[in-house]
Amino acid sequence: MATTNPTPLQWAKSSYSVDNGGSCVEWAPAHTTTFGIVPVRDSKTPHGPVLNLSLTAFAGLVTLARSSDI
């Protein structure tokens, strides 16, 4: 059974994002704390798709971002 979260997500911009139109990633920390799922989105497309990651997958994404010249 699918469940929905009736409360709008409160987004926080990644500390790696910049204000000059570069890579802008947001995540929803309160949702993560409550549900153990990390919603991630492109802040330049706030009504676009949301990628829901497990905590392990999100940690891997952060590790990759820190170690790469993406």
CA proximity to 14, closest of 67, 70, 65, 69: 65
Element (H, E) at 61: helix 55-67
**pLDDT at res. 61:** 87
**CB 39, CB 31: distance < 8 Å:** yes
Q: How far does Cα 64 stand from its chain's mean position?
A: 14
- Is 11:28 a contact under the CB 8 Å cutoff? yes
**pLDDT tens for residues 8-44?**
899 998 776 666 656 688 999 999 999 999 999 998 8
